[in-house]
Structure 1
Amino acid sequence: MFRKILIANRGEIACRIIRTCQRLGIKTVAVHSEADANALFVREADEAHLIGPAPAAQSYLRGDTIIEVARRTGAEAIHPGYGFLSENAEFAESCATAGIVFIGPKPEAIRAMALKGAAKALMEDAGVPVTPGYHGDAQDEATLLAAARRIGFPVLIKAVAGGGGKGMRRVDNESDFPELLKSCQGEGQSAFGDPRVLIEKYIEVPRHIEIQLFADSHGHAVHLHERDCSLQRRHQKVIEEAPAPGLPDAMRQAMGEAAVKAAKAIGYTGAGTIEFIVDMSRGIADASFYFMEMNTRLQVEHPVTEAITGLDLVEWQLRVAAGEALPLTQDQVPLKGHAIEARLYAEDPEHDFMPSTGTLSRLVFPSGVRADSAVAEGDAVSVFYDPMIAKLIVHGPDRDAALEGLRTALIHTRAEGLRTNLGFLRRIASDADFRAGEIDTGFIGRHLERLTAPWPDYDIPVNSPPSPWHDATGFRLNLPPASPVDVRHLTNALHEAHEASEVVAPMPGLVVAVHVKEGDTVEKNQPLIVLEAMKIQLTLKAPRAGTVTGLNAVTGEQVIEKAVLAAIT
């Protein structure tokens, strides 16, 4: 086993890796940007080293600098976490050249699965079912549009190097295709350095089910059961659970076998996840499943797998990277109870989930719940990185027990000082349809109004009896209830009327594109400016037809929240 490793990541996953290393007696080296100088993971590591300014391209994506720190500190291996360099084959090769172990798969396996189009072709050859679509080399708009016509709308445009919900757009009709293609290509270039895309048939009623797998360098491969990640918003996972509710045993076995087959087809080693999309249009009993992609790294949602198996997946990663064989065969992998994870973000559900920044004046998690957190009370959430505050993981003997545990945990969680999605998560955990297992990836979109209604400021006792005092519907004696949604709608009418001629930054961020110049004539909803913050790209559009009479946005410059970027007369 290693004596010292470097963690080439930040935030919650860095803290998570540090905990396992501390238990195993392994020293840890953290690397950090200037913005993260006082971050929780920096404080928890045995030693920490500055590697550059806040932008990830100048710090966490500087593989050469990170390897130099590893050599200087005597780290024998580098754990890349997830995101950043975790699926970068060139970085894995550079580690090997430097005599440092990369805690992950071989570069050839990363390359085989890094580009979604090539991965789909490989899976087809291995006999794994794939989603109908286009994953060819030609990338001109005419070819891609022709492919979308052949597949039939709606389609999904996906960045070939994408992940984490980035670089993905649903297109419902042909007229929207050019704009959404450009948006997807731009996000792919910005987030992954690759503008290429593929086109897939959009499955109307999908569930997102993925298989956790592990393989060692001795030819062994096993799966650690499945996770259901269907509760998503804009293709970003919100709630994950294991095992998948209502999944027939035959499908569970078939998906597990397909995942292991995929891993063996590319000579995989380490932790990986095969993501499948399940077509629920005919119900779960008659559903078909298709390969979507493989993530050649640990996943954000890995704690629910740990909860149902009792295993430490980071420890397995370390042992496999050190050359050890997998500790269990397939029939020895446990499956105990049910686990659910909720992601707590610094964002505002009542205003289209805009990212939020600020200092956490209060952060409290209830006892008896696993909380994998990136920050502690008093820490700041900055504009530069992912807005995740923590993941709350609850385990129970069955799904009902786990759901009630999650609901209770969320009600007793406190996150104050900035806007969060805590109320949104509480409403999901309390939702009757969700608790009944009636879920697919469109669940949040269909029920968005009721799920984003403001949560009461006062504490609601668990299992309290029905009462107007425990009701968020605006109870009043002389008139029908005044819904919080109605109030919010009225406020947003007022906002649009006031800001009608101005284009305002809804969040602090980086200006990555300006599509107009002063004096240009624009149509209503014409794209003007693209902002990027916390891994999100947002296109700001003209609120009305007119002329650009003021322009304060410059590509490459940071702007503050509520800054007026343009005026339309």
Structure 2
Amino acid sequence: MKKILVANRGEIALRVMRTAREMGIATVAVYSEADQNAPFVRYADEAVFVGPPASSQSYLRIERIIKACQDTGAEGVHPGYGFLSENATFARELKAAGITLIGPSPEAMEVMGSKLAAKAAVKEFGIPMVPGTDEAVASAEEAIRIAREIGFPILIKASAGGGGKGMRIVEREEDLESQMKRAISEAESSFGDGSVFIERFVSSPRHIEVQVLADTHGNVVHLFERECSIQRRHQKVVEEAPSSILTPELRDAMGKSACDVARACDYVGAGTVEFLMDGDRNYYFLEMNTRLQVEHPVTEMITGVDLVKEQIQIARGEKISFNQEDLTINGHAIELRVYAEDPKNDFLPDVGTLRTYRRPEGPGVRVDDGYEEGMEIPIYYDPMISKLVAHAEDREAAIEKLTRAIDEYKISGVETTLSFGRFAIRHNAFRSGDFDTLFVKDHYKPEFLDTYDKEEAHAAAIAAFKLLSDSPAQHATSEGPSLWKLKR
């Protein structure tokens, strides 16, 4: 594989291309009209225009991606995450065109893309699952009967769902029929599949996932876990590795379960097995993401493994470059997803122009991004600006390093999640490790960020005072500016 096309954009496209370049592999970018001046387009060895800004007319057009491969001679495609990364039809059409997908088979995607099919596949391996149905629920009467058996509250979930869509928590029997209709309707409109099933609702769970790699030689390994419990709208904002609550015995058990999930669907490549964990530290299989995860950098930081390099090597038919016993956990890593969102306004997207954009630096600080100062955050795509990662010798040191990095990250022109990230990692619940997926609901209010804003203003005032104090004009006068006035 001498040339690969990266069927994605922004920070993940750049991240994949950098590893490819280190491996001596040429890269091809595809780009929409909105991204024509983006850094990932300039970084690639070649770039192919694929359409208007809307992803449905550009990044999701399978025929244009395949034609770009054929026109440039790209032998493989790395899909990143999102867009076509878990699209079985895309995987099949690439294979038919003689192009290698750097990812799993379409069959594995289909099995794990359906929560019901995934549950059926892993059942024979004895992997813990939340009590509930293994098949779609056909009627409200059936749903009521099942709910009575497993007990309220229950969770109605779309089989093809994700991101909280097609999901309803039901606490009372009299609400079940109406909530089921709503879940089915939302599942049909979002995924084209109205199949829903029922599980016991695990209150205040933790969201813990395990990174796995599998090759075509029958080798399957796990690269430990990631804690992803701090979320808004069922989507992750802060992730860390390893989890602060797992014992070595529990880590081994979850790692084995994750590897068995991969075996259940003959998985090949990098994937992530997600689990829910209750207050008694019982864990339950949730789903498998058949792609690279946004939060993969924290795993790379604690293991020293380049996951994209392993993906490419596996796609070339090579064995995983290490054994399970070769892996150890080195320190602690925490990632903050820096979104162009307003955490004071229900985390609504806040697109605009990056008037100021200066990245933090220093040992143990990693910024995966795809933007530069002066660029516009487009309205057509996910509003994530970057992934900010800190790695240190232990969890407390990683918190302090990430705090410093957040304070040094200067972005103006759009609202961002930097202030929320700082609030979250410095909160007593996070620092103690005593938190769950309800962190935002239980601990966060927008007004809590006012303290951060005041600290920012105070720091700016100190800097301004120092600048004025050091200027020649200031030394020529007997009176300087009042620090008290500057603080105000």
TM-score scaled by structure 2? 0.88
Residue 160 of structure 2: SS of its match in structure 1?
strand
Deviation at 1:90, TM superposition (A): 1.6
Q: Does 1:194 align with 2:193?
A: yes
Query: What is aligned with 1:514?
Result: none
Residue 358 of structure 1: SS of its match in structure 2?
coil
Residue 159 of structure 2: SS of its match in structure 1?
strand
Question: Between the two proteins, what is the percent identity of the paired residues?
Answer: 50
Amino acid at match of 2:153: P
Query: What is aligned with 1:338?
Result: 332
Query: What is aligned with 1:59?
Result: 58
- CA shift digits 1:139-193 (9 cap, x unpaired): 5555446544544333333332233454434344456556655554455445544
Contact 1:370-1:394 at 8 Å conserved across structures:
yes
Contact 1:428-1:451 at 8 Å conserved across structures:
no
Deviation at 1:348, TM superposition (A): 1.2
Aligned counterpart for 1:305 among listed residues 299, 314, 323: 299
Query: What is aligned with 1:355?
Result: 349
Query: What is aligned with 1:206?
Result: 205
Contact 2:343-2:446 at 8 Å conserved across structures:
no
Q: 1:187 to 1:418 in 2, by over 3 A?
A: farther
Residue 449 of structure 2: SS of its match in structure 1?
coil
Deviation at 1:371, TM superposition (A): 0.7
Query: What is aligned with 1:79?
Result: 78
Query: What is aligned with 2:421?
Result: 425
Deviation at 1:87, TM superposition (A): 1.2
Aligned counterpart for 1:411 among listed residues 407, 411, 427: 407
Q: Which moved more, 1:290-299 or 1:2-11?
A: 2-11
What is the distance in 2 between the residues matched to 1:31 and 1:144? 46
Aligned counterpart for 2:390 among listed residues 371, 391, 394: 394
Aligned counterpart for 1:448 among listed residues 444, 447, 451: 444
What is the distance in 2 between the residues matched to 1:181 and 1:132? 18
What is the distance in 2 between the residues matched to 1:179 and 1:57? 33
Structure 2, unpaired ranges of 5+: 460-488
Amino acid at match of 1:415: I
Q: Does 1:319 align with 2:318?
A: no
Deviation at 1:125, TM superposition (A): 1.8
Query: Which of structures 1 and 2 has the larger relative contact order (alpha carbons within 8 angstroms, sep 6+)?
Result: 2
Query: What is aligned with 1:218?
Result: 217
Query: What is aligned with 1:495?
Result: none
Amino acid at match of 1:398: D
Equivalenced residue count is: 456
Amino acid at match of 2:350: S
More strand by share: 1
After superposition, the CA RMSD in angstroms is 2.1
Q: 1:393 to 1:60 in 2, by over 3 A?
A: same
What is the distance in 2 between the residues matched to 1:217 and 1:168? 36
What is the distance in 1 between the residues matched to 2:331 and 2:458? 26
Amino acid at match of 2:424: I
Query: What is aligned with 1:288?
Result: 282
Q: 1:115 to 1:359 in 2, by over 3 A?
A: same
Residue 9 of structure 1: SS of its match in structure 2?
coil
What is the distance in 2 between the residues matched to 1:331 and 1:52? 47
Query: What is aligned with 2:468?
Result: none
Query: What is aligned with 1:259?
Result: 258
Q: 1:187 to 1:313 in 2, by over 3 A?
A: farther
Structure 1, unpaired ranges of 5+: 463-569
More helix by share: 2
For 1:453-464, what aligned pairs fall within 5 Å after superposition? 453-454=449-450, 455-456=452-453, 458-459=455-456
Deviation at 1:44, TM superposition (A): 2.2
What is the distance in 2 between the residues matched to 1:187 and 1:244? 33
Amino acid at match of 1:426: R
Query: What is aligned with 1:33?
Result: 32
Query: What is aligned with 2:100?
Result: 101
Q: 1:190 to 1:299 in 2, by over 3 A?
A: farther
For 1:262-281, what aligned pairs fall within 5 Å after superposition? 262-280=261-279
What is the distance in 2 between the residues matched to 1:12 and 1:189? 32
What is the distance in 2 between the residues matched to 1:25 and 1:56? 30
Deviation at 1:41, TM superposition (A): 2.1
Contact 1:310-1:334 at 8 Å conserved across structures:
no
Q: 1:16 to 1:293 in 2, by over 3 A?
A: same
Deviation at 1:194, TM superposition (A): 3.1
Q: 1:12 to 1:250 in 2, by over 3 A?
A: same
Q: Does 1:376 align with 2:372?
A: yes
Q: Does 1:155 align with 2:151?
A: no
Residue 344 of structure 1: SS of its match in structure 2?
strand
